[in-house]
Amino acid sequence: MEGLAFPILLVGMLGLMFFMSSRQRKQQKAQAEFRNDLAPGHEVMTASGLFGTVVEIDESNDRITLDSAGSRSVWLRAAIAKRVDAPASDLVTDRSAETGTIAPAEAVDVPDDLSGLDTAQREYREQQSKDDEGK
């Protein structure tokens, strides 16, 4: 029995290493595809945290020119960490004309103390049990 434990452990470790490396290869491939799909006008963030807009792509030297706050800088394509989506405030169209604030999508009642906590927990459990019975 003891002679069988080591080979099983060895096979398990090799299998774990294989799955970890295959997942890492998939992530690297996805990052490479992302960087190859970049185009002028995309908002991006570099690995060091600089935010900017892609202005120019130099395919031959694998470099990207970014415009950040009016100044341009040249980066290696590999330094681009992610594409930045539009802020949520840009996506909301229902705004107050006078104040420029975003109208809430749904009113939420927030108590100013913990007195309603027990009631909220009980209501949550009741709703969960109703949902479980409905399944």
Every domain of the chain and the residues it spans? 11-86
Q: Classify domain 11-86 at the CATH class level.
A: mainly beta
Residue 80 is given by DSSP the state E
Q: In what order do the strands lie in the sheet with 63-68?
A: 71-76, 63-68, 51-58, 43-46, 80-83
Nearest to 65 by CA among 86, 80, 47: 80
The structure's pTM equals 0.48
Q: What's the chain's length in residues?
A: 135
**Structure confidence by residue, pLDDT tens digits, 41-80:** 999 999 999 999 999 999 899 899 999 988 999 999 989 9
Q: 64-73 as b/e, with b when 16 or more CB fall inside 10 Å?
A: bbbeeeeeee
